Structure 1
Amino acid sequence: MRTHVEETRKLSDSNFNDLRTLLNAVPGQIDYILEQYTRTKEKAFDDLDNINLLLGGSIYERLKPKVLPVLKDIKALAEDMKTNRATLARVNTLLTDMKQSSAHLRTSLRDMKTSMEQTLTDPQCSFPVTATTCASIRQSLNVLDGSANFDQLPSLDGHIAHLDGLLQTDLSGLVQKANDSLSDIPGEVKNQTRDFISEFKKTLNSIQSDVKNVSTKIPIQKTLSNFVRYVNNSEDYILHYLPTVEKCNSYRWLVCLTICCLLTLILIFYLLGLLCGTLGYDQNATPTNRGCVSNTGGVLLMVGVGFSFFFSWIVMTIVVLTFVTGGNLENLVCEPYRNKKFFQILDTPYLLNEDWEYYLSGLVLNKPDINLTFEQVYSDCKENKGLYATLKLDHIYNVSEELNITKHTGDINSNLENMNLRINDIELLDKTGRKTLMDISSSGIGKIDYAAYINATEGSPTRVNLMSFADNLQRKANQLPPGTLKTSLKDHVDTLRNIHQNQVVPLQNSMSIMHQQMKGLHHRTSRLRDRVSNIIFFLNSTQYFLTSQLAKVVIEESKQFGSKIISYFERYLQWVRMAVTQQIAACKPAATALDSAVNVFLCSYIVDPLNLFWFGIGKATVLLLPALIFAVKLAKYLRRMYSEDVYEDEPVHKVQSKPRVQTIPRVQTVPMVQTVPMKTMRHANTRSRVEQGTQTI
């Protein structure tokens, strides 16, 4: 207890520091709430400054899936028409070259055939040895002819000229113009909302002043200022009386120490008496002949008995006083405080004030009919709830009504509705562009006889492969005997190979290129009319959407943008309401201070040690009674006696007569004891038994 009382000053300082921290933190918490509004406002300002990207960009994103595919198709069609025109021009050039090349090839092969026929008229072919070979060569000359004839393929100049007229209208440029109009929406939104943003920022600044006024009107600080007075008075009271308590505790400590020392002294006498009596006891010694050690043990036991009689009333008085104090405090204060029945007693209606139903609500709110109890306040503070909700300060100032979302965001909504954002109608394609699309559909490029061009370029320029023919001719020439015939045939072989390399291969390459070009062109133009029809359909549909729905899209996106701005302040105001009602001035230090005062200081520091003290001293006092009895009974077997009692047995026939008691007179020296012939019984006593009619022996 002494140690705990010495720690009281440290405990009180700690609790008062916590309470002052609670009191001093409230202004900072309110400033923090206002600072969070500044951050919210800055976030809204940032969105307003980027309205071209947020609102304009959202409008653009809404229109893009509708508009861009159509513009992309028109641009792709324009690019395809340019590609088709280039393909037609290249095919037309190839056709001209191929007609000239095929005519030249036919002439070369015809000349080659005539020359070889003249060579075969050589007299050497009449010899039986060479006649068969010459006949075979002569028969093979029938296949030496050009099979490719492109004169029947018509020229493509008319189609090229028609496409040149269509391509004078720059469809790609018109598409880019529509794209630019769509991309200009964010900038147009920025320009139209410049004045609106300025006014809107003023509205947000005015809301900040409203929130500041609400924060200053919350009665938490007023309640805490009243609480400060109680805290200061309590601290002054404790600091004033704590030295007195410490001084009185010193006296209490001395008294308790004295009582414990007295009990210890009695115990020491008993223990020394037992020790000396045990060590000095001789069962053969007569009571008057007992040793000094045994006699000292008996004396010490009787001294302990004397101290027990002398001080026991003091100890019992101390036990009674401490029992009444500590037991009642434990049962009336500590135990009810732990199970909260103490608060239930305080919350009994009209107990503390006969005019108030609820004392705490009458004291704090000046409204005694509000159900505000000590138990509820204590439980809320233990959970570290805010003082506003704990003390039900909403009956004085309703923060929920003052921080009504609609009340503070109504101006924002009205400003957003007055934004009056207008986006000019976007024309995807003008009349010229639409006419060009229709002309492309009827350009006739899809009616070209692609089959004729493809079939004409599928075969070979010659009826026979000139290289194979030349190889076969050389093999046959090698069978001939040397001479002019053989030499001429080998020259013809070289000429055929030159014709194949210089005329057939280029012509064949041109035919392959034309074949691929015409197949690709046919693929691109086979469904040109349907393609243009689909483009025109979606163009009209998209243009109708822009004309009829653009304003609606702008309004929807504007509302969504406004809702996003409002959501910042809705979340902020909700957070303010939650912070004010649950977090500002969290009152756990108050519950901790009350626990420290009652549960720790009063019960743990004082009542529990006090109860332990009276219980221990009381138990010792109870044990004094059997100790006293045993000590008195035991001392007569240990102390040295001044006289002895001798008992003589009478004869058997005189057994009913009373025994004769012989008293040994007190002698200054060693007492003399007469021995009798009969059996005697000696009994040591603290006094001599004197009977009527005794005789002196």
Structure 2
Amino acid sequence: MGFLLLLLLAITFIPPDPARSQQCSGGPTSLILQFADVGADQWIPAHQRAPGSLDPLYDLVQSYLDIVQQNPLPTELLRDALNDPPSANTSQILQYQAGYIICATIAIIYFVAMPLIGLSICCCQRNRRCGGRVKAYRRSLLCQRNLLMLSLLLTTLVILVGVICAFAANQKVKEEMEPGARDTVNTLQALRHHVSGISRGVQLALEQFAVPKEQIIRDLNNVSWNVGSTIHLVRKGSVYSAINDMKSRVQDLQNSLHHLQIIKKTAQRLTQYQDELESTLREQKQNIISILEDSRCSYCDSALSRAQGLELGVNYYKLPSVERVLRNLHGLPKANFSEMIQQANHSFNIFPERVAVKMANVVQDLKKEMEKAMKKVQSIADSFPILDHTHPIYDVLVKAENISHTYFKEAKRYEKYRWITGVVACTVVLLIVICNILGLSFGTYGLTVREDPSDYESRGEAGAKMLITGVCFSFLFSWLLILLVFVTFFIGGNVQTLLCKHWANQEIYKFIDTPGNLPPSMNITQRLGLKKNLNITTAYQQCKNGAGLWEVLQLKDTYSLSDQLSVPKYTAEFQKRLDDFNLTFEDILLNADGKKDLQTFKESGVDGIDYAGFQAEIRNPVVRTSIEGLALDLERLSKVQSDRTVVDQLAKESQMLLNIQNTTVDVMKELVENLKESVYFLSTIAPNLQTQINDMETKVRFVESTLPIDVHKIVRKELACFVRKEVGYVSLYLNWLRHVLTGDVASCQPLSTALDNGRVILCDRIVDPWNAFWFSLGCCTFFLIPSIIFAIKTTKHLRPIRHRLISTGSEETYPFHIPRVTSLKL
């Protein structure tokens, strides 16, 4: 709260500032310059509360306070209090504080009732034990006793959790108080450094023109090589694409010859194997069928159908011929493509050396222009207006900083007393919790070891006494606890609901902006010199978004930053230097022999081969039935025959089939795979062969015909781009300078950051744990009521039960309690 008052006091006396920033326009995105962080040491770091384990408790307390205080910001009440304090209406105050009044009523009732009830119990039980004892044993006592002890235990655990939270919140307030005071002072110091550093920041920002100047000079020293390399880079796509296409077509020619020869040789070998296999299969088929149809062959009908399919499934004589295509491609390639490609690359790659000769004069002219621009930039410091408005602001911030030291010193001393009081209160509650826990522990153990309910047990009696002790402490200190809870609740709750809540949603700023809410002497908008169409809320939002003082203050009309930072003012002469520069490129890529070879390849008929016929025949199986499967069937049949001759015949035929599979069929399958690979390659390139060769020829003709003309245009264009690049460095610096002057060196964002920091320090880091403390302690205080009730009732069950005689008409008979007789030795 003190920080807010000091900050408002400081900004109230800030005089008008005659400068206004403009929106920065970025330079070319491809250009990068590293400028010094001018004004970076003056920025105020934004504070935020670090996430912690108490955050859910903070949210719960804020929800509770929203229920207690549901009224909006009392604008009328605050307006009356600020403009005419005696006219403040008491009924309005009571109406606004209705929720707190209800809580105060509850606290008063508690404050009065608890001591009176405790005094009454003490008077009633003065001549007997507090809580008495159970008069007679009943079966229902066990359930009643357990229910009371469980209720007391749960209530004690709730109080324990509450007191732990209270301890933690009390310590959190202590831990945040000193850093909060230190951060507040640091924020004021940062604001003062920001204001005092504007003049020095302007000078440092102007000196940063050396960065683009040095970069431009380095570029000028390398311009000849860079321009030539750029031309090479721009045109190498079309040139290298034509050369690569030419390489690819030559490679296709060589690969096609290779695969065509493989197809021819493979087809010849397959027809040879086919003739041999056909005769062998015919003979084997007849032998196997005759054996299987023999009446001596048992169970042979199942294999007969497979044996009848023992014949060729292909006819490799149907494979299309490639002889004509091979004749057309015989003797190719005739041209020396390797030498042609090497010569084309060499002619194109010497561009950087050919460009470097004619750039010296342009480089010298541009260097002279940079010296002139440097002097123009330095003259900005002489007319910068905002420097005249920093001294009054600086004086106000120094006073606010001095006052804050005294204020926070006193706050630290009172915080020590508050912390001690909180620790004592929490310790008292913790003592009551310990009494309850010890009472339950001793009492439970005493009941466990007691065999007769009437027996006296010291542990049970000790447990009862501990519970009564806790009750006494509860009555003794509860009225002090409720007093502490209400005082801290009233202070922290009002700070949260009246200040922090409306500070966070900017209702306070809107209240200040509303005409008539503040006295004329407190017209902050006028004192700050804000633009007529701006108010505190809008200015705060703009400052938070990174606006400069020029965007919120009425300073633009006295000084035009746009005119001072106009790019043409510093770069006009960069456009006049490069009209007479030219280069030519007249070499060819593909000679007549090379063109003739590729034309022959295109017309060879590779794309006319019947690849579908190849694939249709290749897909067929070599043998219609599985030779290995038939051999296995014959082998199995041989094992179940009774006739020895049939057994031998079946075994022999099975072995012969396996030999055919291994020696002929597998070899043919391997040849088919080789044939399939070559056919696949040729069928892949064949559909696009004409188009690819035509595209390659088109690219070569395009490069050879347009390159001499295009080089001239590209040279002129790239040199113009070079000039624009150097102008872009100047533009990038001027945009950066505009951003620094309006956003860093003379920015109003530190002011919005300081306001946000004040809210975080006061509300998030101090008020939240403060409110969490009274909320936790208040829960403990109110739960003392059920704790007292359950403790008093439980003590009766921890003491020995007095037995008495029950009427004989009862369903149960209770024995008299006969005291133990102890023999005495005389």
* Shared fold per TM-score greater than 0.5: no
TM-score, with normalisation over the residues of structure 1?
Answer: 0.43
Query: Higher Cα Rg: structure 1 or 2?
Result: 1
Q: Which has the higher contact order (CA 8 A, sep 6+)?
A: 2
TM-score, with normalisation over the residues of structure 2?
Answer: 0.37
